[in-house]
Structure 1
């Protein structure tokens, strides 16, 4: 029996990028229709799919993409308000409906949005509902799943909750913070999308989908705060804050573009909860049930068993959890991260540079502004931290897990990489990374990176308060480490030359 072929539109988007690898795992042959194949360059599954280039507003390219397809996923929605986006979305939906019917596609699966039975919807909710109607009237059996706020790192709705809660200890907000919302974890959205592909052909209808919790928007923000280790935020509902003013406010205090904030906020003017639970009669709930909101937040934050936040900067691999970041996610999504990066080219041999890196801390010091390091250690002790008194376990060698003053060795690749995790008291997570790399001239390159994930407004203020000192401390550190490594190399070369002259051939 031949494998079923699936066409995914919107594969470079938030949901589509997470659905494709799960379709592959389920045994489907996957084709993706994208306008710019270059956007798939870094995704881990690009080599496992057939890539068709085209645009949904171009009927001929949609026809070609639909050839030989059994199931079509429609995961495209404009999040901008410029131009006549409603007309363009309807044109795209009509092209897909026509091409799918002509090609004999047996199932369309569409992901729309929960919306109330209101006479006047926001333009984006209205457009999503109209796209669903066009697909349902296509003559191809269609399932239109209608979801509310999707919880997962990279989801625009979740990122707005994350950034607003992180940055504001007090939240003046529009009155819609009192509206009821039924959020759903991204893993549950993907579960329903996969299940919808296998529904019998007589099913042609909409289904509401949502998680087990119905919350007010303010409760969602404070639920996030608790999971992120922040204090709950006092929230004042202001009746005068219009959707337009609210979007300006979101644009000001978060990295989310106003063009995205506008449609989200406009959609929050209504209660968005499930009106029916008929999906349970067709697709049984996943093992263990649907994901509660607080657990969905924990997954989106990448919480590990020890409560630490698992960060995505540490490696470029995609671990495959649906709440994890993907290369195709927008650059403003995910945890806010501050970095201080220094790079130095040195005549020192890589082995000598590594000797200096591995011997850092303890009695050997930190190669820059000793008084500043001592003061930071005293400050840490005053607030109950570990300070600088722990020193080193071994004068020259480090191992994963070793304590190193107020750091902990998180990862070591001997001869190449040392990564330290801060254990001093700071309002966030901090790492210091040092690398030794060979260059083409026989010397080496020293790369140094300080990384800080702020927790709440206090974390942001902390980073900016110490930023003036970074130019002195981290620059001096990079300069002294490379200078010390050069002195080691010069001394070794001198010894070698002396030995050669004392023992001529």
Structure 2
């Protein structure tokens, strides 16, 4: 085991800084005066974080799924403490192998570095048989410890905070459904912990003196079943729910139902559901004995989470638009539903951008204009103003311009246009046009994002699914063709 040399301020690497915990940890580290290197596989997403321009932060695009040994080695140079906050649940059914593969890459790089300590956020382990998600979390810790660097593994069950996948799945179920059908294991227990407490524990581990590579639990003040959590959450949301336990409902079946109710990515929700079928109340040493913090009960943690959920629109993604912020309501799903299409084309970025800026008004929407017009008439029938044709006088668009019922909330020349949805509907949405250069070709991406407002918001989204199946594809091809493209083909959506 290498000697642990800790100092203040420290040079800290956060691997997975764009994730839920990482995006909250980085600003906390910066407030403490540390110098932070934040990594993500998407530099563009890092640059949307509120803290991206802080003088003490450096941003690094690091995709651990790719060959990155040289870059990872360079990134570790001069680093004192590493926070390892990545997981592979969103990578699909092979996430177990994916997690272990990237852990081996990091472990190998650590063994060649001068890093003093790595802090790994793992998961509470059940007694006996485990799920793929939980076993991958355990195996990841074992692999990281093989590096010879001191590894402090913090294990937690459900983290209560805005953006936490486990919390948002539960909140979506309670918010969107009057009748909740659940597996019998809904009686399984865990010790949900407030995000604020988790961040404080992580912060203190920069300088806390510890020997060897301990595994420590992070627990909330009480063990509560998932059924109790849903009922208590419903009371806080002023919702009434009826919970029916179905013995034959398997985790896989439950995950399929969740994919309809929640906007949390399907593979993430599926992995979480599988893990929640176990009791996650551990008797391993608790970090609270080393770092005593005030206990935050379930209700208090939920209240803070709900109060902070509006932060999702107080961001660069929404252009900090006051109308979007004013329209946000706590009944809206934190994670949005989405639909869209991407094409690969040889049309120039300037030609694509010129035509994107013609959207709306007399030009229409490039494809299926009769459907857009029908939707405008439906809006007008309930008091909306979608039939009102509005366009700026200039040939170019700027933030704040109105296009029919839409409002421009982001406008980055030849790169990105984002429009705030202005029709009357149960939720909050936006429409985005994005152009990305790839040397000999460009990708044109058109995406709609929708935060549903409760069950009516879900119904509205699914009512629009049939048009969504072809309208964005048609728009993308029509836009590229209008921009002079001689080559157009479907393309995977840019990450």
TM tier, shorter chain? 0.5 to 0.7
C-alpha contact (below 8 Å) 2:90/2:268 kept by paired residues: yes
> What does residue 136 of structure 1 align with?
145
SS at match of 2:121: strand
Q: CA deviation at 1:437?
A: 9.0
Instruction: Tell me: CA distance 1:11–1:459, structure 2 relative to 1, closer, same or farther (3 Å).
Output: closer
Q: CA deviation at 1:255?
A: 2.8
SS at match of 1:30: strand
SS at match of 1:46: coil
Q: Does 1:86 align with 2:96?
A: yes
C-alpha contact (below 8 Å) 1:37/1:51 kept by paired residues: yes
Q: CA deviation at 1:457?
A: 3.4
Q: Does 1:241 align with 2:195?
A: no
Instruction: Give CA deviations for 1:383-433 in whole Å, capped at 9, x if unaligned.
Output: xxxxxxxxxxxxxxxxxxxxxxxxxxxxxxxxxxxxxxxxxxxxxxx9x9x
Distance in 1 separating the partners of 2:100 and 2:266: 24
Q: CA deviation at 1:5?
A: 0.5
C-alpha contact (below 8 Å) 1:207/1:279 kept by paired residues: yes
Instruction: Tell me: CA distance 1:446–1:133, structure 2 relative to 1, closer, same or farther (3 Å).
Output: closer
Q: Does 1:440 align with 2:394?
A: yes
Instruction: Tell me: CA distance 1:104–1:178, structure 2 relative to 1, closer, same or farther (3 Å).
Output: same
TM-score (norm 1): 0.63
Distance in 2 separating the partners of 1:298 and 1:45: 24
Aligned positions, number: 363
Which of the numbers 259, 278, 284 marks the counterpart of 2:286? 278
C-alpha contact (below 8 Å) 1:81/1:263 kept by paired residues: no
Q: CA deviation at 1:249?
A: 1.4
C-alpha contact (below 8 Å) 2:18/2:39 kept by paired residues: no
> What does residue 42 of structure 2 align with?
36
TM-score (norm 2): 0.64
Distance in 2 separating the partners of 1:263 and 1:301: 24
Distance in 2 separating the partners of 1:258 and 1:238: 21
C-alpha contact (below 8 Å) 1:6/1:72 kept by paired residues: yes
C-alpha contact (below 8 Å) 1:439/1:445 kept by paired residues: no
Instruction: Give CA deviations for 1:10-68 in whole Å, capped at 9, x if unaligned.
Output: 11211111111111111111112332212212112122321223333532222111100
Q: CA deviation at 1:162?
A: 1.2
Of the two, which has the highest radius of gyration? 1
Which of the numbers 105, 114, 136 marks the counterpart of 1:104? 114
> What does residue 495 of structure 1 align with?
none
Q: Does 1:266 align with 2:285?
A: no
> What does residue 59 of structure 1 align with?
69
Which of the numbers 274, 284, 305 marks the counterpart of 1:300? 305
SS at match of 1:15: helix
Distance in 2 separating the partners of 1:61 and 1:176: 44
Deviates more, 1:89-98 or 1:161-170: 89-98
Instruction: Tell me: CA distance 1:459–1:83, structure 2 relative to 1, closer, same or farther (3 Å).
Output: closer
Which of the numbers 147, 150, 155 marks the counterpart of 1:146? 155
Instruction: Tell me: CA distance 1:171–1:70, structure 2 relative to 1, closer, same or farther (3 Å).
Output: same
Instruction: Give CA deviations for 1:104-131 in whole Å, capped at 9, x if unaligned.
Output: 111100000011131x211111110011
Instruction: Tell me: CA distance 1:212–1:2, structure 2 relative to 1, closer, same or farther (3 Å).
Output: closer
Distance in 2 separating the partners of 1:110 and 1:69: 16
Unpaired segments of 5 or more residues in structure 2?
1-6, 319-324, 326-331, 339-358, 363-379, 406-421, 428-451, 465-495
Which of the numbers 24, 29, 32 marks the counterpart of 1:18? 24
Distance in 2 separating the partners of 1:112 and 1:442: 49
Instruction: Give CA deviations for 1:311-357 in whole Å, capped at 9, x if unaligned.
Output: 75477599xxxxxx9xxxxxx9517799xxxx9869xxxxxxxxxxx
SS at match of 1:109: strand
* Structure 2 counterparts to residues 441-480 of structure 1, below 5 A: 445=402, 448=405, 449=422, 450=424, 452-453=426-427, 456-457=454-455
> What does residue 46 of structure 1 align with?
52
Unpaired segments of 5 or more residues in structure 1?
304-308, 319-324, 326-331, 347-367, 374-429, 468-505
Instruction: Give CA deviations for 1:121-162 in whole Å, capped at 9, x if unaligned.
Output: 111111100111222343212210001011122211111101
* Structure 2 counterparts to residues 297-446 of structure 1, below 5 A: 297-302=302-307, 312-313=312-313, 316=316, 334=334, 439-440=393-394, 445=402
> What does residue 472 of structure 2 align with?
none
Instruction: Tell me: CA distance 1:441–1:102, structure 2 relative to 1, closer, same or farther (3 Å).
Output: closer
Which of the numbers 124, 127, 130 marks the counterpart of 2:133? 124
Distance in 2 separating the partners of 1:442 and 1:111: 47
Instruction: Tell me: CA distance 1:283–1:83, structure 2 relative to 1, closer, same or farther (3 Å).
Output: same
Q: CA deviation at 1:440?
A: 2.5
SS at match of 1:42: coil
Deviates more, 1:79-88 or 1:161-170: 79-88
C-alpha contact (below 8 Å) 2:48/2:317 kept by paired residues: no
C-alpha contact (below 8 Å) 1:175/1:239 kept by paired residues: yes
Instruction: Tell me: CA distance 1:315–1:95, structure 2 relative to 1, closer, same or farther (3 Å).
Output: closer
C-alpha contact (below 8 Å) 1:106/1:201 kept by paired residues: no
Q: CA deviation at 1:290?
A: 2.7
Distance in 2 separating the partners of 1:121 and 1:137: 22
Instruction: Give CA deviations for 1:272-292 in whole Å, capped at 9, x if unaligned.
Output: 12324531232121xxx1321
